[in-house]
């Protein structure tokens, strides 16, 4: 099972739409996948599941999305030159055990021109610290509004080819 994480809690995010594009491509390849949208996290998760505290709904979510997954695809928007704080907060609650030795692919999403390049580096450092393996191809989807239409459909053949090539490589990684 591959868990695709939409790494923002912003309701109606473009990142969630990109996560859905990834999910559809994986399904076309008959690869089991599921999307975890951080907009669905319990609103108090950071305080009620941190440093010894835990709640059943959160633990159940983590079992489904982290424990049962052998690979992750993290689709991350660029917020202030990096990945969103809510994603780091989530990782601080989940801990490293459910991530260690698993494989991770990264995707950057931004309205600006850099496509979350620095966020990809920051996420790579985070996952390597947790002893996960990060796949080398990390598409940086810059000026996302130009390649994704209002319905969330990818409207750019070059980007589609980049994503499909990343997925094919990641499946055998
Ligand atoms: C808090 C916040 C910070 C942002 N910072 C940046 C940034 O540093 N660079 C950039 O290109 N876009 C930035 N954006 C715009 C996002 O790239 C844009 O909203 C894009 O659609 C991806 O974010 P989304 O998934 O929330 O829609 C920011 C957006 C938010 C909400």
Intra-chain end-to-end CA distance of the chain, in Å = 14
Mean local confidence (pLDDT), 20-46? 97
Q: Is the CB of 110 under 6 A from ligand 1?
A: yes
Q: Is the CB of 78 under 6 A from ligand 1?
A: yes
Look at residue 31 in the predicted model and tell me its pLDDT: 98
State the Cα–Cα distance between residues 37 and 14, nearest whole angstrom.
11
**Cα of 47 from ligand 1 centre, angstroms:** 25
The runs of H, that is alpha helices, within the chain are 14-28, 45-48, 56-62, 85-94, 117-129, 157-171
Look at residue 30 in the predicted model and tell me its pLDDT: 98
Please check whether residue 119 is in contact with residue 83, taking contact to mean a CB–CB distance below 8 angstroms. yes
Quick one: which atom of ligand 1 is closest to the CA of 84? Answer: 1
Architecture of domain 2-171: 3-Layer(aba) Sandwich (3.40)
Q: What is the DSSP letter of 81?
A: T
**Domain residue spans of the chain:** 2-171
Question: Per-residue confidence at 153, pLDDT binned at 50, 70, 90?
Answer: very high
Q: How far is CA 82 from the centre of its chain?
A: 13
Question: Per-residue confidence at 72, pLDDT binned at 50, 70, 90?
Answer: very high
**Type and span of the H or E element at 4:** strand 2-6
Percentage of the chain lying above the pLDDT 70 cut: 100
Two tokens, residue 128 = 């390597």
State the Cα–Cα distance between residues 22 and 37, nearest whole angstrom.
13
Please check whether residue 72 is in contact with residue 104, taking contact to mean a CB–CB distance below 8 angstroms. yes
Nearest protein CA to atom 29 of ligand 1, as residue: 79
Nearest protein CA to atom 15 of ligand 1, as residue: 111
């Amino acid at each position: 099972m591959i868990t695709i994480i939409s790494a923002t809690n912003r309701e109606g995010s473009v990142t969630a739409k990109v996560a859905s594009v990834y999910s559809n491509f994986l399904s076309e390849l008959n690869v089991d996948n599921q999307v975890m949208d951080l907009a669905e996290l319990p609103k108090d998760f950071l305080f009620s599941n941190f440093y010894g505290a835990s709640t059943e709904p959160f633990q159940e979510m983590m079992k489904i999305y982290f424990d049962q997954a052998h690979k992750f695809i993290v689709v991350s928007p660029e917020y202030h030159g990096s990945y969103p704080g809510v994603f780091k907060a989530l990782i601080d609650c989940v801990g490293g055990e459910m991530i260690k030795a698993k494989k991770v692919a990264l995707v950057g999403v931004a309205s600006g021109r850099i496509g979350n390049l620095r966020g990809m580096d920051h996420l790579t450092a985070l996952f390597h610290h947790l002893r996960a393996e990060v796949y080398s191809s990390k598409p940086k989807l810059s000026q996302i509004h130009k390649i994704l239409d209002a319905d969330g459909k990818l409207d750019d053949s070059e980007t589609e080819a980049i994503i499909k090539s990343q997925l094919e490589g990641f499946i055998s990684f």
